[in-house]
């Protein structure tokens, strides 16, 4: 006796796999065409840059890789204007921990475009000395080689210590909060697109306290 239900399921699966293969081909073609721009053009337009940030085939795992690829094709203003969007929308940034410092520490001109007018005004109105917090692994704390993302809000640091799991390389490691008091002049940028009062800080020194 022929199992009509099994035949139907088999046909549906085969159809699904063919559709997925077709879609994957389309995505790969779009990605190839996008990267062909890097060979064809000396400088990308903002519309072209956006396709590397939020276009088809871009996700939280490869977005920052895209920025590293296109950086040589960006003007100084574009570099700083787009960097926060590529950075803050990338997961598992631990694997970029060394290159990120180089990227944010670049000596390119027009660095003011790293922040919005509102973010710059907020930073300018802070006291000359500020307290920042970072949720991190105990291993990072003991190494004294800190990541660059800190926050003015201790509750945000607690979230990264207790709940955040999308830095897969550190998800199962013991974590703590490190608190530092720094000179505002040492802050590279204040970013608040995610409402996390993020402070980009490249300095290296002994931690002030642990929580």
**Where are the chain's structural domains?**
4-104, 115-210
Distance between CA atoms of residues 163 and 60, nearest Å: 18
On the question of pLDDT at 178 being above 90, the answer is yes
Q: What is the pTM of this model?
A: 0.79
pLDDT at residue 26, rounded to an integer = 60
Distance between CA atoms of residues 78 and 70, nearest Å: 11
Phi, psi of 60 (to 5 degrees): -65, -15
pLDDT at residue 126, rounded to an integer = 97
On the question of pLDDT at 97 being above 70, the answer is yes
Distance between CA atoms of residues 44 and 46, nearest Å: 7
pLDDT digit string, tens, across residues 144-172: 889 999 999 999 999 989 887 766 667 77
Nearest partner of 94 among 53, 159, 157, 147, judged by Cα:
147
pLDDT at residue 20, rounded to an integer = 54
């Amino acid at each position: 006796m022929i199992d009509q239900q099994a035949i139907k399921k088999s046909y549906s699966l085969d159809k699904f796999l063919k559709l997925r293969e077709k879609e994957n081909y389309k995505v790969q073609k779009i990605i190839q065409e996008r990267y062909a721009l890097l060979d064809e053009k000396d400088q990308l337009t903002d519309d072209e840059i956006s396709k590397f940030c939020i276009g088809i085939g871009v996700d939280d795992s490869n977005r920052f890789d895209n920025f590293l690829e296109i950086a040589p094709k960006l003007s100084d203003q574009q570099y700083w204007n787009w960097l926060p969007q590529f950075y803050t929308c990338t997961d598992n940034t631990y694997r970029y921990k060394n290159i990120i410092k180089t990227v944010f520490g670049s000596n390119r001109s027009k660095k003011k475009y790293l922040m919005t007018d509102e973010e710059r005004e907020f930073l300018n109105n802070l006291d000359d000395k500020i307290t920042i917090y970072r949720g991190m692994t105990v291993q990072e704390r003991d190494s004294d080689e800190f990541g660059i993302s800190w926050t003015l809000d201790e509750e945000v640091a607690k979230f990264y210590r207790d709940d955040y799991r999308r830095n897969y390389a550190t998800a199962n490691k013991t974590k703590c909060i490190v608190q530092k008091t720094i000179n505002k002049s040492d802050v590279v940028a204040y970013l608040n697109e995610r409402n996390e009062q993020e402070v980009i800080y490249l300095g290296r020194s002994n931690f002030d306290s642990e929580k």
